[in-house]
């Protein structure tokens, strides 16, 4: 009987799946290099990109090439435009990592979008915070939380640290320090370090 695989996506484990199903999930981009995987014989869950290097685990099948469009951790995500695409492509991804530049480019985008929609609302006579600005805020709300949590994961911290935003001044200062902290270079429970 061939090995059965388990994998974790957005905090939920899936499986068992056969080797051919697993290969298909890799080929379609469902399982990426930072997706946690496990099968019998492995000591613990490991990111897919590292699982084959663990001495106790069976060898992995060769990974199919992944295009930048499929791989949200691609280098493009660390650019001004790439961060916007990455933020929306991983709209509700609360389980992986984002680099410092991805977080800060996304933050700049949300500020620019807010200023632009506020200006439009003012031009249309709806006041500074009218319907267009409210709609833009709703659209960027979830991805902003997701990017913030992934940034915390990138430095080895739980997403629950985001609750510090409810502590005025001190909580905000601590979060800003966290968001300015360099990427944790080694893999952690949220996967491999994103490419920078």
Report the share of the chain in percent with pLDDT over 90: 35
* pLDDT above 60 (res 75): no
**Sheet with 12-17: strands ordered across:** 12-17, 5-9, 36-39, 46-47
Q: For residue 6, with 0-12 CB atoms within 10 Å meaning exposed, 13-18 middle and 19 or more buried, which class applies? A: middle
pLDDT in tens, 45-62: 888 877 654 434 444 443
pLDDT in tens, 114-158: 999 988 988 888 876 788 999 999 999 999 999 999 999 999 999
Across residues 63-76, what is the average pLDDT? 43
With cut-offs at 50, 70 and 90, classify the pLDDT of residue 70: very low
Whether pTM exceeds 0.85: no
- What does the domain layout of the chain look like in residue ranges? 5-51, 75-180
Asked if residues 179 and 104 have their Cβ atoms less than 8 Å apart, the reply is: yes
């Amino acid at each position: 009987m061939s090995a059965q695989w388990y994998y974790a996506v957005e905090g939920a484990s899936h499986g068992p799946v056969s080797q051919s199903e697993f290969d298909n999930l890799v080929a379609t981009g469902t399982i990426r290099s930072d997706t946690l995987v496990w099968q019998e014989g492995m000591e613990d869950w490991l990111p897919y990109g590292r699982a084959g290097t663990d001495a106790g685990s069976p060898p992995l099948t060769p990974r199919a090439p992944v295009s930048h469009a499929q791989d949200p951790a691609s280098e493009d995500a660390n650019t001004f435009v790439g961060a916007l695409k990455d933020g929306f492509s991983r709209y509700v991804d609360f389980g992986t990592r984002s680099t410092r530049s991805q977080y800060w480019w996304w933050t700049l985008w949300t500020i620019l979008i807010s200023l632009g929609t506020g200006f439009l609302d003012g031009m249309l006579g709806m006041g500074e915070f009218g319907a267009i600005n409210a709609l833009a805020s709703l659209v960027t709300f979830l991805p902003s939380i997701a990017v913030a949590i992934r940034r915390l994961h990138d430095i080895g911290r739980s997403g629950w640290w985001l609750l510090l935003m409810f502590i005025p001044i001190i909580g905000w200062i601590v979060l800003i320090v966290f968001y300015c902290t360099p990427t944790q270079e080694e893999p952690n429970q949220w996967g491999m370090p994103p490419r920078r």
